[in-house]
Amino acid sequence: MARRISLAHLTVLSLAPPEMIETAHATGYDAVGLRLIAVTPTTPGYPLMSDPAMLRETKAALGRTGIAVNDIEFVRITPELDVRSLEPLLATGADLGARHLITAPYDEDLGRLADKLAAIADLAQPYRIMPLLEFFPWAFVPNFAGAKDLVAATRRDNVGILFDVLHFSRTGGSIQQLVSTPARLLPFVHLCDAPAAMPATMEAMLHTARCDRLPPGQGGLDLLPILSALPADCPLGIEVPMEVLTGEIGPQAVARRCRQATDRLLQTWAGMSADRA
């Protein structure tokens, strides 16, 4: 099976969904991840569930290009979250053909967090959308081991983990953790690169994650062992925000650069795998 390569919205966040889809098609991607809920007050989200005109334009772009929607984002699971309020988001995601919903752990009560994630899974099941919990060094589930424990605590089969190589690397994740994880828990991963050196502060870590990553294979993260530990056909979401470069050359050129870098990395990985066979 060919590996699906998806363009994550954070890579080209200034583009509304219709234009993003056209960009993904023009630069060689198979799918997109759409940010329908803003993550911060200063960055955009595109609430297609309350914008019928843009939803129609988005569906038309999908039809013209053949691009698929891999995932929708971004739900912060907070103590105040009313899970039932997510139904329009899920219905819109299903209408677009999305497979996954990205969620994030912003509740220090891990029992309540697990219960809410389970409730999201129950709400999402009729829409055939799988919620994924993303872990971050600055959140209440800061690492891969914590994410596995939290997902297990939901006691739901339709919940997984969004594995981002940057967060995995920055929180001391091990290849053995990946090898021992059932493939169903990792339906796709976010791929990028970054300098090998750990940022000195949490503020610097946040800046790298949200604004200043590098294309795959162009930084210091040890990506080849991670690829080797994943199923060979595991889909990749290319999440590489580069604000300064985007301002210089534009989002389409950035998307193309990231796609080309991904191809080179995968060719290197394939050659390494063939040598070992």
Structure confidence at residue 123 (pLDDT)? 98
* Choice between 242 and 233, residue whose per-residue pLDDT is larger: 242
Express each pLDDT in 149-192 by its tens digit.
999 999 999 999 999 999 999 998 899 999 999 999 999 999 99
Q: Please say if the pLDDT value at position 133 is more than 60.
A: yes
With bands split at pLDDT 50, 70 and 90, how would you rate the model's confidence at 276? low
Separation of alpha carbons 222 and 175, rounded Å: 10
C-beta of residue 117 within 8 angstroms of C-beta of residue 158: no
Mean pLDDT, to the nearest integer, of 114-129?
A: 98
With bands split at pLDDT 50, 70 and 90, how would you rate the model's confidence at 114? very high
Separation of alpha carbons 194 and 218, rounded Å: 8
With bands split at pLDDT 50, 70 and 90, how would you rate the model's confidence at 275? low
Q: What element of type H or E holds 20?
A: helix 17-26
Give 230's contacts (C-beta < 8 A, 6+ positions apart).
178, 186, 189
Q: Please say if the pLDDT value at position 273 is more than 80.
A: no
